[in-house]
Amino acid sequence: MAWTYTWNPRCLLAATVFISLFLRTQASSAATPESGEPIQEISFDQALLQPPVSAYETSVFPSNENDFFFSPLEELHNALETMQTHYFELWIGTWPGAIDWTAAVMGTYVSASLFSLTRTMDYILPGTTSIDGQRIENEVNKYFSQAVAYYFGENAFSIRTQAYDDMLWVVLGWLENIKFIKLHTTLHYSRGLSDSDFGWYGKQFRNAFAHRARIFYDITTKGWSTELCGGGMTWNPHLEPYKNAITNELFISAAIGMYLYFPGDDITSPFEASADDDMDLPPAKPHDVKYLRTAIDAYAWLKNSNMTNEKGLYVDGFHIRNYGKNGTIGTGKCDVRNEMVYTYNQGVILSGLRSLWEGTGQIFYLEDGHTLVRNVIAATGWHHRSSAEKESQWAGLGRNGIMEEICDPWGSCSQNGQTFKGIFFHHLTLFCEPLPLVAMIPGRTYRASKAEARLHAESCKEYAPWVSYNAQAALKTKDEKGEFGMWWGHRGTRERDVEESLIPDGAIDYRNNASFLLDPLWSGSQPFSSQNGGTTENAKLGARRNPSQASSTSKLKGNWDRNDRGRGRTVETQGGGVSVLRATWELINLYKNVD
């Protein structure tokens, strides 16, 4: 179905014009503080706004004959509709092709997309006389109803036995839905979140969503231990201790998300298989400071864990040397580092950093986030786009300015790997949410000065051309059914450059080849048995070969569709398209008026 509704046409037109101009202009100069706020009083690191010329070309989006203009809002709707029409089954309340954790991520994308769509609309219900408003409300209700169906279709009992990161995706997903419920009701229903009969029907599900988020968050706290590495979350309780970036980043983002968005929970059912099943849970209050303290401590550990490489990117994680030898904990330190770099490890922490700033008022959280974003952009080869010699060379997270997983050129991405890029863009979008000038929760959260809010906005505005460029690349992978492919950067990639895209020394790509988990380093002395629906163990694989063992020549010759290789087009690759298009719309729409 074509998107024909009127989604705040002034915003849509402005954004379309803005993107057309933005793709042909130079980067903005550093922000000028509001009148009366001297520049020397700004505590935000201004260097974040103006990267060195050696790192980025002066023209952030050079003219390119292959560029094309598009409406990000319309494309977002089309991508979301395709994802839900082609991959979601209402009668079972899930995406049958997904595994448990990727389904949780797809649910998050639906809620996040609705969050974006609802704030583009100008109407108030009930009583609106706008036909367009009523049609749009019907469309939103359709997708929200599918999100509700997923609440009942989610494999909640099984996920409780899986890895801690699996559980944390669940927490973030339902917190995202709670945020949408609050926003949609506040914007479009005159009686807001009261118990009035005139409120939006969707608010009745908030308590159930909050309960699930709370239960899964509470289970994951068992993964934090100071016995090994002085702290940090363990990835999977069924394997040898492995303290990895994603589990710790998720824990940070979930903890601070619980502090900011969890509305409280008075459901007493433990919903957890344990010896205490007969014991009722105590009520949980909103904005509990214990969540804030946990997030602060967890990020302090991560920041000091030596989990970033020479490019400033997060590697995957740490083993403990000699763990289990002679029944000991070995060194007890995180001293065997897996150098593998994945895109999602650079993303999830961003939403946590944005929220940590809001919960503490400490600017260094935003500075750390902007530094990471710029490191990521550089690692896609964005600063080499004007160099024909270097443009298609692997830069660490992509080439020619387009984000890639290292498995992309080989068509060997597993179900895990196919999900990663979308996760990065989702959390980048959350990070770039404008800083509030009024505290969201008086007495609990902080507001930004006008200067700080402007500097954050200017930084995020500078990311828009790169995000838009990736959205264009993703759109070019769509087939005749509107389904997105995995490898966004396949056009113009040379065979010899693919040959150079090898896994780094000291890296184990276990996310795309689960057979690595059979090694005693991961499984210990006991035979490894997979957990139902687990994060990596049961992820459907593309090719089982290490990319360095494959031949790119046979893969790149000819005119056939490279994105039909391996797992092909899936709900996970479609979700990646939804996510990058939403990021494009949000960055352009939110900051189109920032000078």
pLDDT digits (tens, 9 = 90+) for 337-374: 999 999 999 999 999 999 999 999 999 999 999 999 99
Architecture of domain 9-591: Alpha/alpha barrel (1.50)
Closest CA to 365 of 317, 286, 431: 431
Q: What CA–CA distance (Å, rounded) separates 566 from 20?
A: 35
b/e per residue, 554-586, with b = 16+ CB within 10 A? Answer: ebeeeeeebbebbbbbbbbbbbbbbbbbbbbbb
490 three-class SS = coil
Question: How many Å separate Cα 282 from the centre of its chain?
Answer: 32
pLDDT of residue 562: 87
Could you give the angle at the alpha carbon of 455 between the alpha carbons of 449 and 456, nearest 5°?
A: 90
Q: For position 120, what pLDDT does the model report?
A: 85
- State the number of CA atoms in the 13 A half-sphere of 548 facing the CB: 8
Q: Which residues contact 281 (CB under 8 A, 6 or more apart)?
A: 267, 268, 269, 270
d(CA 474, CA 471): 5
Instruction: Judge whether 235 and 251 are in contact, CB under 8 Å.
Output: no
For 291-324, what is each residue's pLDDT tens digit?
Answer: 999 999 999 999 999 999 999 999 999 999 999 9
Helix (H, G, I), strand (E, B) or coil at 317: strand
Contact 241, 228 (CB under 8 A): yes
**Sequence-ordered list of residues with C-beta below 8 angstroms from that of 135, at least 6 positions apart, any chain:** 5
pLDDT at res. 27: 37
Q: What are the residue ranges in the chain where pLDDT is below 70?
A: 1-68, 123-130, 190-198, 271-278, 384-391, 492-501, 525-559, 595
Who contacts 218 (Cβ-Cβ below 8 Å, separation ≥6)?
Answer: 272
- What ranges do the domains of the chain cover? 9-591
pLDDT score of 503:
85
What is the distance between the alpha carbons of residues 433 and 393, in angstroms, rounded to a whole number? Answer: 32
- Nearest Cα to 57, choosing from 387, 497, 460, 402? 387
Pair of tokens at residue 432: 């770039």
State the Cα torsion 470-473-474-477 to the nearest 10°: -170
